[in-house]
Structure 1
């Protein structure tokens, strides 16, 4: 407990799923937390719930693909808290497209959310970290960055790009004492995974997924959040440029 005491943590896509779990875990670990999301009602409800229990939490409805809106929102966080010590780039979207029928606009929408937004958020928060001589960025990638499956084009490309961005950025900012890492979840019980199972033409897809998991189950958002908050903390002070799998062993199985 208290791994993030006196730290300011900014989480994107923080109203539900893995993002919500990260917000809740960071608050429990002593951080002051700001989170962004497009879902205003859910964001306000989470903020009120956490502040009622003594948490230091602010929320803003922000489109993280909009550079100007993001710049303003980050400036508001800096005004409220004075700095940003930790950035968690969690906002993302699934996509089930076809390489022929997918339009350029649809392609751009995917990469704006899953990749460009991470760059924009880092662009606007890194100055605070560099000025203070330290900080941590954690990018939520995916097992799809290394392994993927039919029907999820071009999600793997976007998440592979996010892991590559993690490595490049880690090298660029290491001299300032800033660490940058990625976390790659596998099957985690969230609305996005439930959506994937629901839209899949094979009605038995969830059972088949469970059968190839070495740990025999789907993970929880809270389990991902624990790894994220570890990487954000001083307990991981010699870890940068890494991509941590949180997938129940699925990524190492030959199946």
Structure 2
């Protein structure tokens, strides 16, 4: 334990698995109390139990980040158990595969509700306490799709681009309160969502390894290290930034 997050209360959405779980585990190892939010009740319980067994101070709330009342209830519950959040990691998200000419309005809204609106609802809920204390950090998990994308995933890139834009805007608004807001843009990371992508586009599985300058796909732990750095005092002069964690994929011309 390096203790960079000692005395912090870190809330992580989409914490039951993948990057969210890795962030929660790393934050706990760095000394934070960790609040977990997810809609996957069974997996959330398993993650919470595993963290508790390590001696971490952990609490969990089943919550839907797209629902205003659910967000308020989850954040309130976790605050009562752990104290007000000092760090928010907006990790929950979903892939999207649609044709722009055939996609319904409901399908569009479902993507933006999870990948963009949910991050705002969470931020809106935790910011008053951060502002009152003049201390806080928010890390939004965006995607390489915010700057580079692929055919067949409409409108995922639009939602993630919006999340990066929201990061910059929010960083300006809350900076005077000593609150930092940053984004992390993962590339190919070995998660359930990546497996879903490979199942949808099978030809991409082998191709993915060849296009990475580092010659491999990343792990959730690779992302968690960067997230927890940005959440910590070690990044005290970093705000409004979008950090790529993509094995160099984003620097390739073609």
Mark yes or no: TM-score above 0.5: yes
Q: Which residue of 2 aligns with 1:225?
A: 224
Q: Kindly indicate whether the alpha-carbon contact (under 8 Å) linking 2:59 and 2:82 is maintained by their aligned counterparts in 1.
A: no
2:249 match: 250
Q: Can you list the C-alpha shifts for 1:171-193, whole angstroms capped at 9, x where unaligned?
A: 00000000000000000011111
> Is the contact between residue 39 and residue 62 of structure 2 (CA under 8 Å) also seen in structure 1?
yes
Name the counterpart of 1:183. Answer: 184
In structure 2, distance between residues paired with 1:205 and 1:46: 30
What is the alpha-carbon root mean square deviation over aligned residues?
Answer: 0.7
Q: Secondary structure at the match of 1:214?
A: coil
Q: For residue 141 of structure 2, what is the aligned residue in structure 1?
A: 140
CA deviations 1:45-88 (Å, max 9, x no partner) are: 11111112211111111001000111111111222222111000
Name the SS of the counterpart of 1:217 in structure 2.
coil
Deviation digits for residues 179-235 of structure 1, max 9, x if unmatched?
Answer: 0000000000111111101111xx332211211110000000000000000000000
Cα distance in 2 for residues equivalent to 1:96 and 1:32: 36
Partner Cα distance (1:150, 1:116) in 2: 24
What does residue 166 of structure 2 align with?
165
- Equivalent residue for 2:60? 59
Using the TM superposition, name which of 75-84 and 217-226 deviates more.
75-84
List alignment gaps of at least 5 residues for structure 1.
Answer: none
- The question of whether the paired residues in 1 share the 8 Å contact of 2:35 and 2:82 is answered with no
| Aligned counterparts of 1:215 and 1:245: Cα–Cα separation in 2 | 14
Q: Distance in 2 between matches of 1:58 and 1:209?
A: 37
1:97 alignment partner, SS class: coil
Partner of 1:241: 240
SS for the counterpart of 2:175 is helix
Normalised to the residue count of structure 1, the TM-score between the two structures is 0.98
| Distance of 1:82 and 1:26 partners within structure 2 | 16
Alignment size in residue pairs: 253
- Give 4+ residue runs of structure 1 displaced > 2 Å after superposition: none
Q: How does 1:17-166 map to 2 (within 5 A)?
A: 17-166=18-167
Partners of 1:146 and 1:53 lie apart in 2 by 38
